[in-house]
């Protein structure tokens, strides 16, 4: 890490681990990125990435315990913005991220982060927490992008293959009455995007009303696109070799503290 980190400006937030507070970080990131003159579309990318990282930290890392804070650091450097989102690590990030929408992680969110920022790195902190680092560069990083005359701030998604993703699997606590009972297929039995109608179990509704029911998200077996196109959504070591640090390797800690400003966002119950 020999880049110019000697004295980056540091904006730091401490968010209660309650869903909704990620929007505070989103707005703060927007303000910082605007100040750095990022292109509007890149700011939108950053906002989504920061919000998703915070949601992961709130929900999984901190188990939505409002007494525990998610720390968001925004390190402002001449050529880039680095945002670090840290939790206390109640849920340890796996060494390899699961496919979007699978398992108990917010796979969709990690997929968006991966594809919206220039660099993403997940680190296990010495105290057991997780830290997601997201970097956006002000200028193109590859010679290719300069050579082919692309815009000065290309969005990562412009070169990313279209993703093919299974559906968010987060269960809802309250399900509508009309929802069909589970029609869960094991992941390996998901051959296509859409189950044929006859494969759908009839449920509460009379047959003629079958189409009206919505499968609850947690039983959703289908992906949007055919299975053979899925691999692009999987975050593999080959795609992002530096994305995940093995346990015990902590390339850095929050070492930049100069010119920092700290904002504490307290939940109503704490004040």
The C-alpha atoms of residue 157 and residue 89 are separated, in whole angstroms, by 29
Query: Which region among 28-36, 45-53, 74-82, 263-271 touches other proteins (by CB under 8 A)?
Result: 45-53
Given 122, 165, 234, 235, the residue binding other proteins (CB under 8 A) = 165
Tell me: does residue 45 bind other proteins (CB under 8 A): yes
The C-alpha atoms of residue 114 and residue 110 are separated, in whole angstroms, by 6
Given 29, 86, 120, 167, the residue binding other proteins (CB under 8 A) = 167
DSSP alpha helix (H) spans, 89-221: 107-116, 143-147, 156-159
Residue 113, C-beta contacts closer than 8 angstroms, at least 6 positions apart:
49, 52, 53, 120, 132, 134
- What character string, x for contact with other proteins (CB under 8 A) and - otherwise, covers 191-230? --xxx-x--x--------xxxxxxxxx--x-xxxx-----
- Three-state DSSP at 10 gives strand
The C-alpha atoms of residue 101 and residue 108 are separated, in whole angstroms, by 5
Q: 112 vs 137, which CB is nearer to other proteins?
A: 112
The C-alpha atoms of residue 230 and residue 53 are separated, in whole angstroms, by 23
Question: At closest approach, how far in Å is the CB of 157 from other proteins?
Answer: 6
Residue 99, C-beta contacts closer than 8 angstroms, at least 6 positions apart:
107, 165, 166, 230, 233, 234
Q: 14 vs 23, which CB is nearer to other proteins?
A: 23
The C-alpha atoms of residue 6 and residue 258 are separated, in whole angstroms, by 9
Q: 8 vs 166, which CB is nearer to other proteins?
A: 166
Q: 219: which DSSP letter?
A: G
Given 10, 57, 77, 112, the residue binding other proteins (CB under 8 A) = 112
Query: Which region among 5-13, 31-39, 43-51, 124-132 touches other proteins (by CB under 8 A)?
Result: 43-51
Tell me: does residue 247 bind other proteins (CB under 8 A): no
Q: 14 vs 170, which CB is nearer to other proteins?
A: 170
Given 78, 126, 149, 176, the residue binding other proteins (CB under 8 A) = 176
């Amino acid at each position: 890490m020999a880049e110019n980190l000697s004295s980056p400006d540091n904006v730091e937030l401490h968010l209660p681990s309650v869903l909704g507070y990620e929007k505070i970080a989103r707005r703060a990131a927007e303000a910082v990125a605007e100040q750095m003159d990022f292109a509007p579309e890149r700011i939108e990318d950053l906002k989504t990435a920061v919000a998703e990282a915070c949601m992961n930290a709130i929900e999984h890392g901190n188990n939505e315990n409002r007494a525990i804070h998610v720390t968001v650091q925004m390190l402002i450097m001449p050529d880039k913005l680095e945002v670090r989102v840290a939790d206390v690590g109640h849920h340890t990030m796996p060494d390899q991220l699961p496919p979007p929408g699978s398992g108990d992680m917010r796979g969709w969110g990690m997929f968006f982060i991966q594809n919206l920022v220039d660099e993403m790195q997940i680190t296990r902190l010495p105290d057991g927490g997780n830290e997601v680092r997201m970097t956006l560069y002000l200028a193109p990083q590859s010679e290719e992008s300069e050579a082919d005359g692309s815009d000065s701030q290309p969005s990562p998604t412009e070169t990313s293959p279209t993703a093919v993703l299974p559906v968010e699997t987060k269960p809802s606590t309250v399900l509508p009455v009309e929802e069909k009972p589970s029609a869960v297929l094991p992941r390996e039995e998901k051959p296509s995007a859409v189950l044929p109608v006859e494969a759908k179990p009839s449920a509460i509704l009379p047959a003629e009303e079958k189409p009206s029911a919505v499968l609850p998200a947690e039983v959703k077996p289908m992906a949007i696109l055919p299975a053979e196109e899925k691999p692009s959504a999987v975050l593999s070591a080959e795609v992002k070799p530096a994305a995940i640090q093995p346990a015990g390797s902590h390339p850095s800690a929050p070492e930049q503290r100069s010119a920092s400003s700290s904002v504490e966002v307290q939940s109503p119950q704490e004040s």
